[in-house]
Amino acid sequence: MARRRGLRRLAVLLLTLALAAGGIYTAVFFVQRSETLVSERCTAAAGNRTGELAPDQAANAALITAAAVRRGLPARAATIAIATAMQESKLRNIGHGDQAGPDSRGLFQQRPSQGWGTEAEIMDPYYAVNAFYDALVKIPGYEALDITDAAQRVQKSAYPKAYAQHEDMGRAFASGLTGQTPAGVQCTLRSPAAGGTTASVATDLDQAYGGVDSQVDGATLVVDADGALAWSVAQWAVANAKDLAVTQVEVAGRTWHRPDGDGWQASGAPEGQVRITVRQDNGGS
């Protein structure tokens, strides 16, 4: 009899453990499936203008805008450049051209045969962006021109009217990424597949903006900046979060926390600095 009771207790225990294990598996499976179903995207809003880009496109828009900030150009220059690159390459650094320009390359589909530089130079996004701005700033009064006119004078495209369709998107992202619209750019992303480093963030940030003051605090890069520059750097970090494994960005009383997917939220983030936190390979956040 005692043995029978013992067997029944063992059976109940095994069943309980099996149900518990099943629950854990279901929970893990649900989380993994939910992560997989997240539609990764970056959005921008400025006034009544909005735009949406894939994370890799947003990173290139951030690079284009940071170059304008570094050169002291107005947000209008970044708007023109973003709209142009969207039309020419879908904001991707592509290594091929089309029938109109078989030797076209890069973000702006610039052509070595038309004096834009070597193929290797054009395929360097930093070179290509600055080559575009070098040509744009030579156009008198470009800031007041329609995007179609300004872009066409630089690009000399076979389809000059096509640039206008990207104006709202270009303005929304340029306004946020220059810091003119705080909390205007945010990205919805899955958890990082691998860790990153504050050193990588610092290197890319310095290449984009040049001469930024930053210090490392554990898994966080602390950048000294305020005003529009602080918001420009913060939203650059969000736009680059996918590749750099950024999990959190804090600036001027707001925080973007990647796992939440809720955009910029009020927080106690101090003025005068941008805090960019990465997931580290050793399991740190």
pLDDT of residue 24: 42
Of 270, 179, 275, 184, give the one whose Cα is nearest residue 228.
179
pLDDT in tens, the chain (285 residues): 444 455 455 444 544 444 454 444 433 333 344 555 668 999 999 999 999 999 999 999 999 999 999 999 999 999 999 999 999 999 999 987 664 567 889 999 999 988 999 999 999 999 999 999 999 999 999 999 999 999 999 988 766 688 999 999 999 999 999 999 999 999 999 999 999 999 999 999 999 999 899 999 999 999 999 999 999 999 999 999 999 999 999 999 999 999 988 999 999 999 999 999 999 876 444
In the prediction, which pLDDT does 158 show?
A: 64
Confidence at residue 43, expressed as pLDDT on a 0 to 100 scale: 98
Nearest CA among 266, 168, 183, 167 for reference residue 230 = 183
Q: What is the pLDDT of residue 282?
A: 61
Find out whether 79 and 142 touch, Cβ atoms under 8 Å: no
How many Cα atoms occupy the beta-carbon half-sphere of 164 within 13 Å? 7
Q: Rounded to whole angstroms, how far apart are CA atoms 117 and 3?
A: 87
Query: What are the strands, taking DSSP E only, across the chain?
Result: 41-46, 49-53, 185-188, 214-217, 220-224, 246-251, 254-257, 264-266, 273-278
Q: How far is CA 147 from CA 71, 81, 87, in A?
A: 20, 9, 12
The whole-number pLDDT of residue 226 equals 96
User: For residue 55, what pLDDT is reported?
Assistant: 98
Specify whether the CB–CB gap between 128 and 106 falls below 8 A.
Answer: yes
Check residue 4 and give its pLDDT. Answer: 46
What's the pLDDT at 251? 98
pLDDT of residue 248: 98
Query: Could you give the 3-state DSSP secondary structure of residue 247?
Result: strand
Of 170, 207, 179, the C-alpha closest to 78 is: 170
Measured in whole angstroms, how far is the alpha carbon of residue 158 from the centre of its chain?
30
